[in-house]
Structure 1
Amino acid sequence: MTLAFVEREGSDPTEETLEMLTLARELADGDGESLDVVAFAGGSRLSVDELGAYGVDEVYHVVHDRLDGYAPEAWGESVAQLASDVDPSAVVAPGTDRGHEVLAHVGATLDVPMAANCIGIDVVEDGAYELRRNRWGGSLIEHARLEAGTTLLTPAEHEFPIEKAESTTDPSESEFTPSLEDTQFRVQVERVERADEEGIPLGEARVVIGGGRGVGGPDAYDQLEELADLLGGTVGASRAAVNEGWRPHDDQIGQTGAKISPDIYIPCGISGAVQHMVGCKGAETILAINTDPEAAIIQKADYAVIGDLHEIVPELNDTIREA
């Protein structure tokens, strides 16, 4: 059996969870096993209706009177206890900060290895896995073989498409109550404060316009904002632009910023450093605007316009407005 840790927003699984379920189902099918998931009940329960479309066979609801909020050690201990009971061949979590953290605690508790940021996994003989993973901020790909009684895995964010199963299942449901100690609640979330941001969040935008050092200053972002408004998207920035103080850190795209997966990403005046490309590699299409035809971003883009963004973007805005 493959066991998947589910993150949710309200009663629905997150987008990253659905990406992860694509990988988890491939592993379960490769081993000829079932795909089960574990979710924390909290104030409300995960809706299982949608999960049947992704081939889930059983849903374990973790129920405990102290697990209303996120407590990484307690969550990790809960998943570890469930894994000890059901003995999965693999435990898979979303490639998010929370997914990595929970699975790391599971690995420490069970004393089993964890492989994070996987971009490809093949099931081979004797329960072993051949892995391909992003390493060093995405600048290289590691090929490795992992063998363990229970293997812990997370996919790289936005690496796997959201794909429904060929046949729909009718998941069964059961409750699991872990045995937890006070020390496992020494770190927990007490409250959540939302950023006071306007417009579409970077992680949810289907169109993202990026601005780098080539924009030249904070005022020049007005033309990028206009383009984003016309296309129903939002504006992001490179680390260089954020370091200059032209945009807030919430707008930064890259290894130390937001990871985006829009339908189209239009980077303007961005060189395309490895750290930036880690953040935008989930984009379906990249249309780069840059004066340098040899810039790294041009080499990695699907389409490119070689020229001055201060001339091209206003023309683009006018054309879209007329159309």
Structure 2
Amino acid sequence: MILGLVEHESGVPEETSLEALTMARELAAGEETELGAVVFGEEGGALEGELGPYGVEEIYHVTHDRLDGYAPAAWGESITQLVSELGVSTVAAPGTDRGHEVLAHAGAALDAPMATDCIAVDVVDEGETYELRRHRWGGSLVEHARLEGETKLVTAAEHEYPIEEAASTTEPTVSEFTPSLDDAHLRVRVERVETADEEGIPLGEARVVVGGGRGVGGPEDYDKLEELADLLGGTVGASRAAINEGWRPHDDQIGLTGAQISPDIYIACGISGAVQHMVGCKGADTILAINTDSEAAIVQKADYAVIGDLHEVVPELTEAIRETT
């Protein structure tokens, strides 16, 4: 069995988990085995309708009277026990902070090899070996590697796998699984969740993102970007350079040490396109760069580019859009 870790919010699977299920389903087909899913949380048992279209045949809903929130070691131990009980050959998880952390705990307990941020995995030797490609150094290079082991652990790089439904919808059964946990497994856990005071659409959910870098010039000039973003129903982000200048709050940072975005369009204004920033926006379907430097890295990587002063281009773009709506 291939077992996929599915993160969800109130019973709705996260997009990154559905991406990981695409990878897991390909592995299950290559090994001619079934695809299962492991879920945590009270609403996890009601996910059969959400996961059936993605080919999941069995859902294992982890329940425990002391497991009422995220606890990385406890989640990892639960997966470890499921692997031993079910004879799981591979556990696949989304390449999120939580997915990496949970599989790291499981890998330590199982003494199993783990490959993170995979962008392609091929089954060879009847499943004994995986030949894979994965992001390294923040996405600045791609590593080609082989993964071998009785149980293998892999995570799918965010926004690299498409969310694809299976050829036919399954009707997965839901089985409750109660792991054996002790105090050590629950030493670290989420006690409460506090909602940020920031208004608007979170960067990770926005379908349109307007980003500003050092070329914006100062905090007051982000008003032009805010106006464009509001008109398009999107939100504003920033490069690390702008954050370091104190022009925008850290929650607005896009990049390796900030948010990973996957909008329909990313409009990058006055941003040079450093590797760390490109890691954060590589999931965008389309990138439009507005920059005075035609040789800027982001211009070379963008789908479209306007070579000009953003202080002139952005207001004209905003006005043109307003006239057509």
TM-score range, shorter chain: over 0.9
Q: Residues of 2 paired with 1:283 and 1:116: CA distance?
A: 21
String of CA shifts for 1:166-200, please: whole Å, max 9, x gaps.
Answer: 11111011111111111111111111112111111
Q: Specify the alignment match of 2:25 in structure 1.
A: 25
Aligned letter for 1:106? A
> Secondary structure of 1:220's match?
helix
Aligned letter for 1:80? T
* TM alignment of 1:219-238, pairs within 5 A: 219-238=220-239
Q: Residues of 2 paired with 1:205 and 1:44: CA distance?
A: 25
Could you tell me which runs of 5 or more consecutive residues in structure 1 were left unpaired when the two chains were aligned: none
CA apart distance, 1:227: 0.3
Could you tell me which runs of 5 or more consecutive residues in structure 2 were left unpaired when the two chains were aligned: none
> Secondary structure of 1:82's match?
helix
Q: Specify the alignment match of 1:112 in structure 2.
A: 112
Q: Residues of 2 paired with 1:23 and 1:124: CA distance?
A: 15
Aligned letter for 2:91? V
String of CA shifts for 1:29-65, please: whole Å, max 9, x gaps.
Answer: 1111110001113366342112110000000111110
Q: Specify the alignment match of 2:123 in structure 1.
A: 123
* TM alignment of 1:61-140, pairs within 5 A: 61-127=61-127, 128-140=129-141
Q: Specify the alignment match of 1:189 in structure 2.
A: 190
Q: Specify the alignment match of 1:11 in structure 2.
A: 11
RMSD of aligned Cα (Å): 0.9
String of CA shifts for 1:93-125, please: whole Å, max 9, x gaps.
Answer: 111111111000000000001100111111111
String of CA shifts for 1:213-253, please: whole Å, max 9, x gaps.
Answer: 00000000000000001111000000000000000000000
Q: Residues of 1 paired with 2:164 and 2:228: CA distance?
A: 31
Greater mean deviation of Cα atoms: 228-237 or 43-52? 43-52
Q: Residues of 1 paired with 2:16 and 2:28: CA distance?
A: 18
Q: Residues of 2 paired with 1:166 and 1:280: CA distance?
A: 30
String of CA shifts for 1:3-44, please: whole Å, max 9, x gaps.
Answer: 011111011211111111111111111111110001113366
> Secondary structure of 2:48's match?
coil
Asked if the contact 2:16/2:159 (under 8 Å) is kept, the reply is yes
Q: Specify the alignment match of 1:199 in structure 2.
A: 200
Q: Residues of 2 paired with 1:43 and 1:145: CA distance?
A: 37
Asked if the contact 2:209/2:237 (under 8 Å) is kept, the reply is yes
Asked if the contact 2:64/2:179 (under 8 Å) is kept, the reply is yes
* TM alignment of 1:31-46, pairs within 5 A: 31-42=31-42, 45-46=45-46
Asked if the contact 2:271/2:298 (under 8 Å) is kept, the reply is yes
Q: Residues of 2 paired with 1:162 and 1:231: CA distance?
A: 25
Q: Residues of 2 paired with 1:245 and 1:143: CA distance?
A: 39
Q: Residues of 1 paired with 2:96 and 2:46: CA distance?
A: 18
Asked if the contact 1:42/1:67 (under 8 Å) is kept, the reply is no
Q: Residues of 1 paired with 2:183 and 2:215: CA distance?
A: 53
Q: Residues of 1 paired with 2:103 and 2:239: CA distance?
A: 30
Q: Residues of 2 paired with 1:258 and 1:103: CA distance?
A: 22
Q: Specify the alignment match of 1:215 in structure 2.
A: 216
> Secondary structure of 1:265's match?
strand
Q: Residues of 2 paired with 1:176 and 1:50: CA distance?
A: 19
> Secondary structure of 1:101's match?
helix
Q: Residues of 2 paired with 1:291 and 1:265: CA distance?
A: 17
Q: Specify the alignment match of 1:299 in structure 2.
A: 300
TM-score by length of 2: 0.98
Q: Specify the alignment match of 2:152 in structure 1.
A: 151
Q: Residues of 1 paired with 2:226 and 2:187: CA distance?
A: 43
Greater mean deviation of Cα atoms: 6-15 or 266-275? 6-15
Q: Residues of 2 paired with 1:43 and 1:88: CA distance?
A: 24
TM-score by length of 1: 0.98
Aligned letter for 1:262? P
> Secondary structure of 2:142's match?
strand
Q: Residues of 2 paired with 1:19 and 1:44: CA distance?
A: 18
> Secondary structure of 2:260's match?
coil
Aligned letter for 2:188? V
